[in-house]
Amino acid sequence: MNILFYIAACIAIIATLRMIIGTNAVHSLLYLIVSLLSVSVIFFLLGAPFIAALEVIIYAGAIMVLFVFVIMMLNTGSSGVKKEHELLKPSTWIGPGITSGILFGEMLYVLMHPASHPMTRAEIQPAAIGALLFSKYILIVELAAFLLAAGVIGAYHLGQKEKLSHHRYLKKEEPTI
């Protein structure tokens, strides 16, 4: 069973790296979906089957479909790939690579110091999550609802095309004699 964790972890890392270095948006998106699916396998192995299902349905399903729709709407095609090649020079990788590498080294140092804690394989039932969600964390659930409502309104407002005139009274009227 342990080998499954390592295989899924390797696939997640490789797919995410391919996503970062790709130039075609759709190919990168498909690699991102592979990465999310392998992380979902890891969730399943860690005893979180409900979260694994949610990862597949919401992350790899709904959110990635939104990305696909936007890429289809923008329809940059091969010109976008060409532009990406111009933007993505090898020298741009130096600074961000070094800074992220330093951060990763620090996290590695912190993680590898204390004694090892084994992870339980005990499966946590969705009923336990639901009971906790609507008793202890009820306030955060309501705040998440606010956030989602704000997201819907913001997306609707930003997504519409700019109108030339908002109201007929705000238009400049021709002087009539």
Partner 1 sequence: MTIPMEYGLLLAAILFCIGLAGVLVRRDVIFMLMSVEVMLNAAGLAFIVGGAARGSADGQVMFLFILAMAAAEVSVGLALIIQLYQKFKTLDADSASGLNG
Q: Which is nearer to partner 1, 143 or 171 (CB)?
A: 143
List the one residue from 72, 139, 159, 168 that touches partner 1 (CB under 8 A): 159
Say how many residues touch partner 1, by CB under 8 A: 84
- Using CB under 8 A as the binding rule, whether residue 77 contacts partner 1 is answered as no
Alpha-carbon distance 7 to 70, whole Å? 32
* CB 35, CB 19: distance < 8 Å: yes
Give least dist CB 78 to partner 1, A.
14
| Contact (CB, 8 A) for 85 and 23 | yes
Could you tell me the smallest distance in angstroms from the CB atom of residue 172 to partner 1? 21
Asked if 138 is part of the footprint of partner 1 (rule: CB under 8 A), the reply reads no
Please tell me whether residue 139 binds partner 1 under the rule CB under 8 A: no
Residue 67 touches partner 1, criterion: CB under 8 A: yes
Residue 53 in contact with partner 1, rule: CB under 8 A = no
The per-residue DSSP string of 24-48 comes to SHHHHHHHHHHHHHHHHHHHHHTT-
61 binds partner 1 (CB under 8 A): no
Contact call for residue 11 and partner 1 (CB under 8 A): no
User: Is residue 40 classed exposed, middle or buried when 0-12, 13-18 and 19+ CB atoms within 10 A define those classes?
Assistant: buried
> Using the rule CB under 8 A, is 7 a contact of partner 1?
no
**Of 77, 142, 150, 171, the one binding partner 1 by CB under 8 A:** 150
Site for partner 1 in 84-123 (CB under 8 A): 84, 87-88, 92-93, 95-97, 99-101, 103-104, 107-108, 111-112, 116-122
Maximum distance among all Cα pairs of the chain, rounded to whole angstroms: 89
Residue keyed to tokens 């620090």? 106
Is residue 56 close enough to count as binding partner 1 by CB under 8 A?
no
Interaction of residue 16 with partner 1, rule CB under 8 A: yes
Contact 59, 36 (CB under 8 A): yes
Query: Backbone dihedral region of 75: left (phi > 0), alpha (psi from -120 to 50 degrees) or beta?
Result: left
